[in-house]
Amino acid sequence: MKLFDLTGRRALITGSSMGIGLALARGLARAGAEIVLNARNAERLKQAAEALRDEGAEALALPFDVTDHDAVRRAIDGFEAEHGAIDILVNNAGMQHRTPLEEFPPDAFERLIQTNISSVFHVGQACARHMIGRGRGKIVNIASVQAQLARPGIAPYTATKGAVANLTKGMATDWAKYGLNCNAIAPGYFDTPLNAALVADSEFNAWLERRTPAGRWGKVEELAGACIFLASDASQFVNGHVLYVDGGITASL
């Protein structure tokens, strides 16, 4: 299983103080990676890093705002200068806003673009500049089934996740020649803080169980295997791919 061994690699996961990001960090740590957690809330980030260390992981906290290009560049360059290479980047930071499109606030639309799309560019570029010089690196962007499907009330979110999927392909097209692997994971419906309102909605739960071939919500730990694969040598010739982890929802009418 050496192909999946991440021992000696360092992984930065954005938006990783809770939810999917923290679950991915935990999975990568169990595969041997040293973890660098990121979020804007420094206190919550510190608690998450301590929790991982209590589980035996090597974990550091690196707070910065993923929507601020200059702040991202300073944080990544400073970290690399002080601690060494970031070998794996997981662009997970994201947000949701649910409103009918005809009533959607323009400021909420702009926040979605900055958090869900621009952050992938900012952090991806900052890390890739170092990875290119080393001739290797793994970038895993977190998209969504909404890269392919739409649902009422979240049209701008759907647009952002479609953009993440296509930006992933663009990253691969530009950076594969330098030894980088750039891929995406597209989760289906997972029980996370971002989906708390839907999890609490009995009508939506009934619809989701009927709509998803697996008949249930995903568990965040079920995303770890896909991330380990895309972060490891097992995916060395995989580039520009969007891996759907969705219980079959995109395969079924």
Distance from the Cα of residue 65 to its chain's centroid:
15
What CATH number did the domain enclosing 209 receive?
Answer: 3.40.50.720
Total tally of structural domains belonging to the chain: 1
Work out the angle at residue 23's Cα, subtended by the Cα atoms of residues 21 and 28, and round it to the nearest 5 degrees: 95
Query: Which one is catalytic: 157, 178, 189, 244?
Result: 157
User: What does each of the 253 residues of the chain score in pLDDT, given as a tens digit?
Assistant: 899 999 999 999 999 999 999 999 999 999 999 999 999 999 999 999 999 999 999 999 999 999 999 999 999 999 999 999 999 999 999 999 999 999 999 999 999 999 999 999 999 999 999 999 999 999 999 999 999 999 999 999 999 999 999 999 999 999 999 999 999 999 999 998 888 888 899 999 999 999 999 999 999 999 999 999 999 999 999 999 999 999 999 999 8
Q: Could you tell me if 38 and 62 are in contact, meaning their C-beta atoms sit under 8 angstroms apart? A: yes
How far is Cα 212 from Cα 55, in angstroms, rounded to an integer? 33
The Cβ of residue 14 has, within 10 Å, a number of other Cβ atoms equal to: 26
247: left (phi over 0), alpha (psi -120 to 50) or beta: left
Q: What secondary structure letter does DSSP report for 59?
A: E
What six digits make up the tokens of 10?
């360092």
Give me the amino acid identity at 52.
L
Domain that residue 118 falls in:
2-251
Q: What is the pTM of this model?
A: 0.96
Give me the amino acid identity at 99.
T
């520009």: which residue's tokens? Answer: 240
157 classed as catalytic: yes
Q: What is the DSSP string of 65-104?
A: -TT-HHHHHHHHHHHHHHH----EEEE---------GGG-
Q: What secondary structure letter does DSSP report for 139?
A: E
Q: Could you tell me if 142 and 92 are in contact, meaning their C-beta atoms sit under 8 angstroms apart? A: yes
pLDDT at 195: 87
